[in-house]
Amino acid sequence: MRTAPVSVSPADARIAAKPPLRRFHQASWDEPLLFELSSPGERGVLVPGPQVPLDDSLPAGLRRQDPPGLPELSQLHVLRHYLRLSQENLGVDLNIDVGQGTCTMKYSPKINDQFVRDPGVAELHPLQDERTVQGVLEIIYRLERMLAEISGMDRVSLQPGAGSAAIYTNVAMIRAYFAACGELEQRDEVITTIFSHPSNAACAKTAGFKVITLYPDADGYPDLEALKAAVGPRTAALLITNPEDTGIFNPRIEEFVRVVHEAGGLACYDQANANGILGITRARDAGFDLCHFNLHKTFSTPHACGGPAAGACGVSEALAPYLPRPTVEFDGGSYWLNDDRPASVGKIRPFYGVIPNLVRAYAWIMSLGAEGLREVAEIAVLNNNYLMKKVLEIRGVSAPYAEGRRRIEQVRYSWAELAEDTGVHSEDIGVRAADFGTHYWTSHHPFVVPEPMTLEPTESYSRADLDEYAAILAEVAREAYEDAEVVRTAPHNSTVHRVRPDTLDSPETWAVTWRAYRRKILGE
Amino acid sequence: MRLGLVVNPVAGLGGRVGLKGSDGEAVQARALAMGARPRASERAALALTELRSRLPGDAPPILTAGGPMGADAVRAAGLRPEIVYKPRRPTTPADTVAAAKTLAPLVDLLVFAGGDGTARDLLDAVGSSVPVLGVPTGVKMHSAVFGVSPRLAAEAVAVMAARRARLIDAEVMDLDEEAVREGRVTARLHGHLRVPDVPVRIQQRKTGSSAPDPAAINGIAAEVASRLPGPDLLVLGPGGTTRAIASALGADVPVMGVNALRAGTAVATDLPADRLTELVRSGPSWIAVTPIGGQGFLLGRGNQQISPEVLRAAGPDRLLIVATEAKLAELGGRPLLVDTGDDGLDRELAGHRPVITGRGRSTMYPIH
């Protein structure tokens, strides 16, 4: 691999400057699967047998006939296995992780994890009497009030287990609202935009609505004329993200809300991209009836790959009766869970919310304060526009839609020109970047922008980080023009495991468990 | 700016009678026998009339070929022709080539009226020695050298006359007409012509369409079926998407023609405009069309059988536009285009219309 020479100016000759392109080489362990490492009889922990005979105390349907098909390994072998795999990874704590598409994670402060591991949080049980969990109920209550303040909404629920769960909860509340008005049969359409968070269309469809999608106007902004053509007596709601996934802020957002309200519909704000507007704009001030936040992304909690993330729903007073139950209430003396909510859409998940993430988000907001939140947004926007300037200087990149205009907190770039010139595709560039110790991946659904690359620097990364990231992209683009083969055959210094996408096209061939792999791929 | 004009009088003859092209004398004779009317000169005149209204002061003479190869159209538009080439009668592609060769050194822009076949003749005759621009009059127009409509071609000429357009190399594509009549679609790149770069007014090259995603097509077919009452007629324009819809509804139809279905059975295939008009007038009918991939043409390219008469008989509310989300994305935000040959109808169709993209899913998309 070629590496640019390290340049050291005389002024700081005593300290070697950080190389713009570091000499990176990743570990490669050729590690087998746990099941392939299994050795009969080997044990990590010797679990004591049952102290009482189980035969009569468990119903027959709950008793296994055969022992579970688990791999048999010692503790050391398990530890070593996962450490090796972790060395073949580029985690959020290891690289300049601004290339997660619309899913970029800001830094998650480690002290917040200490709070979560505190026995006062970690050893709570969801079935405890509420008099014994006053502390965590207070955290939830206060966090809800903070998010209500941040969004301008009247009430907030923290029950949803992720951003999309929160969007679905909002759609469920919209459905319940129109059912109560007797208009649900008539209002069966939800309107969204093509560059809104794709979960808007998906959740509306899942909840039984028809979905109408709007394309941008000739200037690249959400198309008000298209909205006017789409609204009518069948409109239930507008589900819209702002700024959109292109990073473009809708300058006519209040008019969008007005047009939908005039047609009798509700306006629901997807705030997955709220990082650049915290403390600057508020959903309710623009007239929205509902909104949601991802507590991951915006409020620093882990994303957890579709696992236990956390979402928040905010609603106006008119929609508050439909919030999921229970709600957390405070009577001036103590906190309590209110299950007596007859109009509620019901429970969105068992118990109440993903407590560890609610604790992290609460700690994060408390550590910043109101002014700190606004500063987060300002730095995130500044970082993004700094990076955009540097990236757009690279040959072959563009930022389609609203060209020449600034973006809020992220940009959906296009390598279309480079692909046309060199035959190198965006996916190749993301993989080649891994040879320099970073990456980006292609979370760009729907694929409207050709050869997409979506970068969101957040407030977590320094100017030096952004310079290094841009230098890597510039180097890979140079290679694409001068020696495209190097890029196309990447990775050379890192361990990207290429999957065979053709096996993921059909349920007949995809295998996401060991058992499915044996059945579908090995034919056992 | 010195302007030249060459018209291919027989371009577009095959369109409304469903012949998918007009290349070759036998096809032209057959088209005339089927009642086809030459429209190339008329459409060239339409462009020139528009141009006359856009150019300041007295228009200079237009350098052109005699009779139906240009002079007729120039006179019809109220402009003066300067005839530099006299064609034989009847005209042949050799006349197009010879006229273009004569005109090329004398003009700043050579406007030609024709289709992909004519563009290929221009490519042979002038290559990149002079900027050209096509007024669309053919059946197949896959090349990127045509104005979206005669009116918009004139606008592009006016932009160039005002020295506000740079020149770019644009693809000359052509289908193998014989192969198409046999049911295969193959387009080939033949070379590049220099054209003024006026986006929106110049149509984009048609991209090779990838195989439509079966899940998306089934969703669209289910939505189309749910929209129309059982006994109504469903007219399907040409294209892979509409053919796949026919197949999802239980009927096997040819890939290129206009076909009609009733309750999942093909009642007529490969219909010419007159028979289609009759059929649509006979009862409630719905028309499903899909844009040409990468180019965005909805009406007036490759489906001229769906004539203004057919569209008016069915009623504009019964025009169903279908496309997969991927196909819309390929347009890169460019609008859908209509050029039915009836200016009033084109205006009526313009604006935002829903495009069916799946079961219970549509996209509000602009039509120009």
What pairs with residue A150 in β-bridges?
Answer: none
Instruction: Assess A436–B contact: CB distance below 8 Å, yes or no.
Output: no
Q: If you search the block for the tokens 């070629």, which residue do you land on? A: A2
> What is the number of CB-based contacts under 8 A between chain A and chain B?
61
Coil vs helix vs strand at B177: helix
Give the integer Cα–Cα distance in Å for A201 and A240: 10
Task: Give which of B262, B267, B308 is closest to B286, Cα–Cα.
Answer: B262
Give the integer Cα–Cα distance in Å for A202 and B325: 14
Letter string b/e over residues B335-357, b meaning 16 or more CB atoms within 10 A of that residue's CB = bbbbbbbbeebbeebeebbbbbb
Q: What residues of chain A lie within 8 A of the CB of B328, using their CB?
A: 215
Instruction: Assess A213–B contact: CB distance below 8 Å, yes or no.
Output: yes
Please give, rounded to a whole number of angstroms, the shortest distance from the CA of A447 to a CA of chain B.
Answer: 7
Average pLDDT over residues B264-269: 90
Letter string b/e over residues A412-438, b meaning 16 or more CB atoms within 10 A of that residue's CB = bbbbbebbeebebbbebbbbbbbbbbb
Domain extents in chain A? 113-366
Beta-carbon separation of B365 and A230 below 8 A: no
Beta-carbon separation of A226 and B364 below 8 A: yes
Please give, rounded to a whole number of angstroms, the shortest distance from the CA of B103 to a CA of chain A.
Answer: 35
Give the integer Cα–Cα distance in Å for A288 and A277: 15
In this prediction, does ipTM exceed 0.95?
no
Domain A113-366 CATH (choose: 3.40.640.10, 3.30.420.40, 3.40.50.720, 3.90.180.10): 3.40.640.10
- A residues 364-403 lying closer than 8 A (beta carbon) to B: 400-401
Instruction: Assess A224–B contact: CB distance below 8 Å, yes or no.
Output: no
Give the integer Cα–Cα distance in Å for B205 and B192: 11
Beta-carbon separation of A229 and B362 below 8 A: no
Q: What residues of chain A lie within 8 A of the CB of B351, using their CB?
A: 229
**Bridge-based pairing state of the strands B285-289 and B319-322:** parallel
Under 8 Å CB-to-CB from A297, ≥6 apart: which residues?
A: A103, A104, A105, A106, A163, A272, A275, A303
Give the nearest chain A residue to B213 (CA atoms). Answer: A505
Under 8 Å CB-to-CB from B350, ≥6 apart: which residues?
A: B338, B367, B368
Beta-carbon separation of A210 and B361 below 8 A: yes
Cis peptide bond upstream of A68, omega within 30: no
Domain extents in chain B? 3-197, 217-367
Distances in Å between the Cα of B267 and the Cα atoms of B233, B249, B348, B362 are 9, 13, 30, 28
Q: What is the pLDDT along chain A (524 residues), one digit of tens a residue?
A: 444 544 545 445 555 555 678 889 999 898 888 998 999 999 998 888 888 777 777 888 888 888 888 999 999 999 999 999 999 988 888 899 999 877 777 888 999 999 999 999 999 999 999 999 999 999 999 999 999 999 999 999 999 988 999 999 999 999 999 999 999 999 999 999 999 999 999 999 999 999 999 999 988 899 999 999 999 999 999 999 999 999 999 999 999 999 999 999 999 999 999 999 999 999 999 999 999 999 988 999 987 654 578 999 999 999 999 999 999 999 999 999 999 999 999 999 888 889 999 999 999 999 999 999 999 999 999 999 999 999 999 999 999 999 889 999 999 999 999 988 888 889 889 999 999 999 998 666 777 888 899 999 999 999 999 999 999 999 999 999 999 888 988 888 998 766 655 566 677 778 888 888 888 877 77
Give the DSSP per-residue string, A363-398.
HHHHHHHHHHHHHHHHHHHHHHHHHHHHHHTSTT-B
Question: What is the distance of C-alpha A376 from the center of its chain?
Answer: 18
Give the integer Cα–Cα distance in Å for B71 and B181: 34
B290 contacts B356 by C-beta, under 8 angstroms? no
Please give, rounded to a whole number of angstroms, the shortest distance from the CA of A464 to a CA of chain B.
Answer: 35
Give the nearest chain A residue to B199 (CA atoms). Answer: A218
Instruction: Assess A248–B contact: CB distance below 8 Å, yes or no.
Output: no
Helix (H) or strand (E) segment spanning residue B277: helix B273-281
Beta-carbon separation of A450 and B332 below 8 A: yes
Under 8 Å CB-to-CB from A235, ≥6 apart: which residues?
A: A187, A189, A190, A191, A260, A263, A264, A265
Instruction: Assess A226–B contact: CB distance below 8 Å, yes or no.
Output: yes
Beta-carbon separation of B364 and A209 below 8 A: no
Q: Measure CB to CB from residue B352 to each of A216, A229, A448 and give the nearest one.
A: A229
Provide the 8-state DSSP code for A520: I
Beta-carbon separation of A446 and B353 below 8 A: no
pLDDT digit string (tens) for A193-227?
A: 999 999 999 999 999 999 999 999 988 899 999 99
| pTM score above 0.80 | no
Give the integer Cα–Cα distance in Å for B306 and A372: 62
Give the integer Cα–Cα distance in Å for B185 and B187: 7
Give the integer Cα–Cα distance in Å for A200 and A183: 21
pLDDT digit string (tens) for A403-420?
A: 889 999 999 999 999 988
The Cβ of residue B2 has, within 10 Å, a number of other Cβ atoms equal to 14
Give the integer Cα–Cα distance in Å for B358 and B324: 7
Distances in Å between the Cα of A200 and the Cα atoms of A47, A152, A164, B40, B49 are 46, 21, 8, 48, 49
Q: Measure CB to CB from residue B362 to each of A212, A448, A450 and give the nearest one.
A: A212
Instruction: Assess A195–B contact: CB distance below 8 Å, yes or no.
Output: no
pLDDT digit string (tens) for B156-195?
A: 888 888 776 778 888 888 876 666 555 455 567 788 899 9
Give the nearest chain A residue to B352 (CA atoms). Answer: A226
Q: Measure CB to CB from residue A212 to each of B329, B354, B366 and give the nearest one.
A: B354
